[in-house]
Structure 1
Amino acid sequence: MKRHDLMQKLGQEKLVAVIRGSNEEEVMQIVDAVQKGGIHLLEITFTIPRAQEIIAKLAEKYADDGEVVIGAGTVLDVTTARLAISAGAKFVVSPHFDKEIMKLCNSYGIPVFPGATTVKDMLECLRYGAEVIKLFPGDTFGPTAIKSFKGPLPQAEFMPTGGVSIDNLSDWLDNGAFAVGTGSSLTKGAKTGDFAQVTKEAARFVEAVRAYDKK
């Protein structure tokens, strides 16, 4: 999927599932459950052991799938970014701004969503070509922060992650979020092995976005 198409898909679907897990088997089950519920943009975090191997397997599994997009999250340095891209990640998410990560991803045409919490850092993200800025942790700031940041930076697009739930999703979108990242609220059922619950929660998020778009 080309960069433009991925960004268009993100803007339409508005949901990125942040996937964490203790091992490959659990991650694969979570991914299965989430995509069955209708969330197609999946961020596999590098907090997972051997994350690059899991990304590679998922990239191969969904290579011919026109809907599911595998990305990499918690990318802390340019070495990890290179591993993610080599494994087949179609987008990269960082909790911070790193110009070397930005330059590498731009060189390969891979969308990168760097984290920032100040106007100064957000401006640096924009200067290095960030199409979406990750606002993390979202629950520290609250939905109205996006509207405030868009005051001096109306051209910036934001993806809050951390504390995003069904209950506050519409508040984030009302305040100008381009998309949201959701992790623990979405995948909490996996902690008890209830992957059917993960699928149900994913479907609830998808339905909430559809209902919002119809308003």
Structure 2
Amino acid sequence: MKKLNTLQQIADKGVVAVIRADSSEEAILISRACIEGGVTCVEITYTTPDADAVIKTLVAEYKNDPTVVVGAGTVLDETTARLAIMAGSEFVVSPAFNKEVALLCNLYAIPYMPGCITIKEMQEALTFGADVIKLFPGSAVGPDFVKAVKAPLPQVNIMPTGGVSLNNIQEWIHNGCVAVGIGGNLVNAAKADGDYTKVTALARQYVDKVRLARQS
């Protein structure tokens, strides 16, 4: 049931914040700011120092809020995936498909979201049980690519990451994306001056844009 809740929250909110920070403290502050703004699905990348500790802290902090889901990103291998799951990660994201990571996530009933850019890559990922395909980098193909993919693969759940902004998020949603991943365009707002209220304000804008896109 936990896996179902995770996927449901990602689909319902429609936005996953990709947290790539310079320190564990910064990652936690950015994550809190995103969650306060309504982006309650956060992905802690393993390029962040002490990513395991960040995941553990956030999972413990929001354990009584089922709308908050904390995942791990930039997972390149089975060992890192295992560490992330042990830390409490509720989903695992990779920049490219990895068969061993897929099998491990299936074993522990953790949603796996591998990065793919071609139909062949997506087909292989689906064969190994990937729940959501991270279209990466989204900037390389654009929103219209989603419609082309969903013609032969109507069952695929696509989440573009890279190239998603407030200006085009509605186009991504209209073309059939189950959610979008937002990195620097959202989480870097506080890097210059440490004002995390800017991240919260941006998060609200992204959530509103998704809601409006789904209503129109």
TM norm structure 2? 0.96
Q: Equivalent residue of 2:22, what SS? A: coil
2: CA distance, partners of 1:132 / 1:66: 20
Q: Equivalent residue of 2:116, what SS? A: coil
Matched with 1:90 is 90
Q: Which runs of 5+ in 2 are unaligned?
A: none
Matched with 2:143 is 143
Are 2:81 and 1:77 equivalent residues in the alignment? Answer: no
- Name the % identity: 49
Matched with 1:157 is 157
- In the TM superposition, residue 213 of structure 1 has moved relative to its aligned partner by 2.4
Matched with 1:178 is 178
Matched with 2:123 is 123
Instruction: Give CA-to-partner distance per residue, 1:30-68, whole Å, 9 cap, x none.
Output: 011111101100000000011111111111111112221
Matched with 1:25 is 25
- In the TM superposition, residue 214 of structure 1 has moved relative to its aligned partner by 2.2
Matched to 2:38, the amino acid is G
Matched to 1:196, the amino acid is T
The answer to whether the 8 A contact 2:46-2:72 is kept is: yes
Matched with 2:195 is 194
1: CA distance, partners of 2:164 / 2:7: 20
Matched to 1:85, the amino acid is I
1: CA distance, partners of 2:65 / 2:173: 28
1: CA distance, partners of 2:47 / 2:65: 26
Are 2:138 and 1:133 equivalent residues in the alignment? Answer: no
2: CA distance, partners of 1:135 / 1:187: 19
The aligned length equals: 215
Moved over 3 A (4+): none
2: CA distance, partners of 1:32 / 1:6: 18
Instruction: Give CA-to-partner distance per residue, 1:141-176, whole Å, 9 cap, x none.
Output: 100111111122122111000111111001101111
Matched with 2:214 is 213
Matched with 1:66 is 66
Q: Equivalent residue of 2:154, what SS? A: coil
Matched with 1:42 is 42
The answer to whether the 8 A contact 2:174-2:214 is kept is: no
Matched to 2:17, the amino acid is A
TM norm structure 1? 0.97
Cα–Cα, structure 1 residues 163 and 111, in superposed 2: closer, same or farther, change >3 Å? Answer: same
The answer to whether the 8 A contact 2:75-2:94 is kept is: yes
Matched to 1:76, the amino acid is L
2: CA distance, partners of 1:55 / 1:112: 16
Matched to 2:5, the amino acid is D
Q: Equivalent residue of 2:162, what SS? A: coil
The answer to whether the 8 A contact 2:173-2:214 is kept is: no
